Amino acid sequence: MKKVKQIAAVALAAVLAMGALSGCSKYKTLEDIQKEGTIVMYTNAEFAPFEYMGDGNQVSGVDVDIANEIAKDLGVKLQIENVAFDTIIGAIQSGKGDFGAAGMTVTAEREKQVDFSVKYVKSRQYIVQKADSNLNTLDDLKGKKIGVQLGTTGDLIIDDNLKAAADREGTEENGVLFESGATLKQYGSAPIAAADIATGKLDCVVVDELPAKSIAEKNEGYKAVEMTYADGSTTEEEYAFCVAKGNKTLLDAINKTMQRLMDEGKIDEYVLNHTTK
C-alpha cells in the first residue's frame, strides 16, 4: 500500500512538473478542436444586445452570431456555456472553454491573463437611472448608491474611484468618489441590478452603452446617459474575443473570421438585429 502511495506521489509530481514546464497550457489547439468537431464559447448572457436569453431559452446576440460564423468557417459545432462574467477568463485559462465572447473589453490587466482577438466594437460607460435623475458625470455619482455587474469595467472604474490615493495604481490623487458617501453594490447581472433603481435601493447602474440603452428601453421611467469625467472626457473601451495565452492557431482563425465580418459590415448588421431586444 505504501509503495502504491509513493508511486502515486511520484506520478503526481511528474504531472505537476510537466504542467509547470509547459506553462500549464491546457488549451485545445485548432487541430484538437477540429478533430473533436466542437468549439466551446464561454459567455454571460446578461448583456443584450451582445448576449442574452433569446427565444426558446437559447443564448442569442451579436457575439453568438459572430461565434456561429467562426464555427462555420472551422466546420465545427458551437457549444455555448453561460456563466458568471467574472469567471470567464479563468475558464479560458484552464482550458474549460476554447474562447470567451462576452462584450469583453480589452484591458492591460486582462491582457496579462489571456490573448485577445482584433477589436470589433467600441463602447463607453453609461449611467442607467430614473428619467428624472440628473446623473451625467462621474462627479455626479458622489454620495450615490451605485450598482454594477461584478468584474466589469463599470465595476473597476467605480471601485477605483472610491479609493484613497494610496490604494490606487498609477495616480497620486484620491478617487473622485472617495469619502463622498457613495456606495458600490456588485451584482451578477446589470439588468437585475437595475431593478433596484425602481425601489430606491440604488440610484443608478453603471454599464456599457448598448446594454444600458437596452435596460432603459425595457424599463418604463428609466433613461441611460453617457458617463463622462468632470472635464468632459469619455470612457472609451473596445471589445474583443479572448483565447488562452499562446493559443495562436485558434486566435488566427478567430481573427480571420472576425476581420471578414467587419469588412462585410456584418457586425453592424448583427448589432442592429439584436438591438431593442
E runs forming strands in the chain: 38-43, 46-47, 51-53, 59-60, 77-82, 99-100, 114-116, 121-123, 125-130, 145-149, 183-187, 204-208, 222-226, 237-239, 242-244
Q: Cis (ω within 30 of 0) for the bond into 49?
A: yes
Q: Minimum distance between the CB of residue 260 and ligand ARG, rounded to whole angstroms?
A: 23
What's the rounded Cα separation, in Å, for the pair 169 and 178?
A: 15
Question: How near is the Cβ of 138 to ligand ARG at its closest, in Å?
Answer: 17
- Of 30 and 149, nearer to ligand ARG (C-beta) is 149
**Grid cell at residue 45:** 448572457
Please identify, using beta-carbon distances, which residue of 242 and 251 lies nearer to ligand ARG. 242
Q: In angstroms, give the least distance from the CB of 75 to ligand ARG.
A: 27
Of residues 30 and 51, the one with the C-beta less far from ligand ARG: 51
In the complex with ligand ARG, which residue's Cβ is closer, 152 or 219? 152
Q: Contact positions toward ligand ARG, by CB under 6 A?
A: 43-44, 46-47, 51, 85, 102-105, 149, 152-153, 208
Q: Which is nearer to ligand ARG, 103 or 147 (CB)?
A: 103
Question: Cβ-count burial of 241 within 10 angstroms (0-12 exposed, 13-18 middle, 19+ buried)?
Answer: buried
Measured from the CB atom, the residue of 30 and 141 that comes closer to ligand ARG is 141
Nearer Cβ to ligand ARG, position 140 or 209? 209
Cα–Cα dist 78/202, whole Å: 38
Inter-residue contact 203 to 135 (CB < 8 Å): yes
Nearest-approach distance from CB 123 to ligand ARG, in angstroms: 6
200 closest CA partner among 155, 150, 145: 145
Parallel, antiparallel or unpaired: strands 145-149 and 183-187: parallel
Strands (E), 134-203: 145-149, 183-187
The helix/strand/coil state of 10 is helix
Shortest distance (Å) from residue 36 CB to ligand ARG:
25
Minimal distance, residue 105 CB to ligand ARG, in Å: 4
- Min separation Cβ 184 and ligand ARG, Å: 15
